[in-house]
Amino acid sequence: MAMTIQCEVVSAEERIFSGLVESVVATAALGELGVNYGHAPLLSTLKPGPVRLLTPAGEEQFIYVSGGFIEVQPGMVTILADSAVRAADLDEAAAEEARRQAEEALGGRHVEFDYALAELTQAVAQLRTLRRMKKTPGG
């Protein structure tokens, strides 16, 4: 039997995931972070992007988070997301349109730069989440 840890992924709106996992992979402040059973305690901010959960049944689940925090404690990983959506529930066409509009706004400079850059970052992270989910068998 594989070594597992309890994982909770929550946002202000709802609990997205709660259960045992073999591993968690997320985009932390300094890059991709992988957490398995026995990982040292840790607290880090999260960048917008995918969170990949590997369940004991071998199933991969992908969740898009717009940012937040990850806390690792013995036997427990908690992700407190600003907002979170299961990758399967993301609208690829809407994310592509948001990316296009943000790139256009950045090029035209007719909106505040920080806002347009944040919108672009969110859209690209959602698309990256969708693409990672589609690359996995059964995704």
Q: Would you state the pLDDT for residue 124?
A: 74
When comparing pLDDT for 137 and 86, which is higher?
86
When comparing pLDDT for 133 and 52, which is higher?
52
**For residues 55-59, average pLDDT:** 94
The answer to whether 32 touches 22, Cβ cutoff 8 Å, is no
The answer to whether 46 touches 26, Cβ cutoff 8 Å, is yes
- The band of 11, judged by pLDDT with boundaries at 50, 70 and 90, is very high
Give 15-47 pLDDT, tens digit per residue: 999 999 999 999 998 899 999 999 999 999 999
When comparing pLDDT for 124 and 136, which is higher?
124
Q: For the chain, give every domain's residue range.
A: 5-87, 90-135
Q: Would you state the pLDDT for residue 110?
A: 52
Q: Would you state the pLDDT for residue 115?
A: 58
Which residues make Cβ contacts (< 8 Å) with residue 139, sequence separation at least 6?
60, 62, 87, 133
Give 75-120 pLDDT, tens digit per residue: 999 999 988 888 777 667 776 777 777 677 666 555 555 655 666 6
The answer to whether 39 touches 67, Cβ cutoff 8 Å, is no
CATH number, domain 5-87: 2.60.15.10
- The band of 12, judged by pLDDT with boundaries at 50, 70 and 90, is confident
pTM, 2 dp: 0.70
